[in-house]
Each structure stands twice: as C-alpha cells, then as structure tokens.
Chains A and B, each alone.
Chain A
C-alpha cells in the first residue's frame, strides 16, 4: 500500500464519519460538525492526490485553499441560519423542525 492510498483511506474515513454524524446527530449543530468533517476529508484527499504524484503541486494546494474558503463561507451562513431557526422554533432539534402537521 502506497503512502497516497493511506492518505486516501484516512480521507474516506473522515467522509464516512461525517455521513454517520449527519444521520446520527439530533441537533443541527451536530450535523454541522459532520459537514466539517466531510469537508476536511475532501481537502486532505485533494492535497494527497497532487503532492504525492507527478501532478502539479500548486493545483492541490489551491484546491485545498478553495475548500477552506468554502467551509468558512458555509460556517458563517450556517450560524445565521441556526440563529433564525432557533428564534422561530425555540430549538435546534432536527426532528422538531416540522411545520406541515396538525
């Protein structure tokens, strides 16, 4: 097993943990934690694919930077959305955010 495969397996592990967290967690904040794990796995995978192969190194580094920028923008928006949801429903429990019954 080459070194790059080990990095890729760690990235896949992070992706799977993120999916697990998104399904398993009850609150929206826990789901955000899962999303961050998945984004980290993506950055790690992009980086390993270019740093350890003949592909140009700048490509992977810029890709990882763009992933980080997207994660920062997403975290900002999610904070605002969570605040709005909390004001309206008095809770961030994913199962209580229901408007289509009764």
Chain B
C-alpha cells in the first residue's frame, strides 16, 4: 500500500474512535438504567484509550485500560450494586423539564467559550507524533518530577485509608 492509503486508514480510525466516544458518552448521560450508563462509560474509556494509542503513547493507553476499565469501572459497578441504584429506581422517573434546560445550559456555556478558544488560538500541530519510550518516561518521573510522583502516592494511600475508616465507622456506631 502506498502512503495515501495509510493516511486514509488513519483518518478512518480517528473518526471511528470519535464516534465511539460520542455515542458512549451520550449513553452514559442519557441511559435510563445505570448499568447501561456504566457500559456507555466503558465504551468511552475504550475510545479514549484508542486515541492514546493513536497519539503514539501505548503505555498510557494500556494504563488507561488497566486503571479505568479494570479498576474504576468495577468500583462504580460495586457502588451501583451496593446502593440499589439500578433501573426501576430514581433514575428512571420522569424529570421536570426545567432540569433538562438547566443541564443543557450548563453544558453549552463551556462548550461555546472553550470551543471558540480552542478553534481560534490553536497552534500548528504535528500530524504524526513521536513515540516516547517507557524508560525515558520513568527517568522523567524519577528525576525532575519526583515530587508529584510522591504526592500522588501519598494521595492514594490517604484515599485508601479514608475509605477503610469510613467503612469501619459505620459499623462501630451500631
């Protein structure tokens, strides 16, 4: 295949991922059943991971799959299961029309401002990104960015401890 065919293929893959993200995101916010909304969110996460792969960052794409699809969505599934928030619950009742209007207004305002800003002030960008090796990433994280790395590990520890403490306190009060 010549170069032009490859480029067309890349555009097709890009547009396909955009479509997956768009449809998954709409399912996430509009589905009546929370389980379906979660499946839509997972589709969106897969789409974003695919965009990471397209941007020549396979490591981050794999991390997206591992952390988001593997861990976060399972946690949200547990939240749905343990709080009885699935279909037939509050989510499937009819909403007042005012709420829909507020939601659309709240979503459109940043879309207009940020969209025009992104369109008008966009710097020229490369069509083909360069790949960065994992070892360079690791040395970057361990040398110049060691402080954010340590702070994020502290944050994770505190979050886990806080979750455990919240879980225990409930039981002691009974």
Contact = CB atoms under 8 A, between A and B. Distances in A.
B76 A33 contact: yes
Interface string A72-102: 1111111111111111000111000000000
A3 B127 contact: yes
B152 A23 contact: no
Interface residues of B, number: 84
A37 B152 CA distance: 21
Among B18, B79, B118, max chain A CB count under 10 A is at: B79
Contacts of A26: 90-91, 93, 95
How many A residues are at the interface, by size bracket?
Answer: 35 or more
Contacts of B103: 19-20, 23-24
A66 B61 CA distance: 14
Contacts of A16: 107-108, 110-111
Contact of B34 (A27, A52, A72): A27
Give chain A's interface secondary structure class. Answer: helix
Interface string A14-50: 1111011101111111101110110010011001100
Contacts of A25: 29, 91
Given A12-B118, A19-B107, A20-B103, A51 B56 contact: yes
Given A14-B25, A61-B59, A68-B68, 7 more contacts: A4-B123, A7-B55, A12-B110, A23-B103, A33-B38, A65-B141, A68-B64
Interface of A: 1-10, 12-17, 19-21, 23-30, 32-34, 36-37, 40, 43-44, 47-48, 51-53, 57-58, 60-62, 64-66, 68-87, 91-93
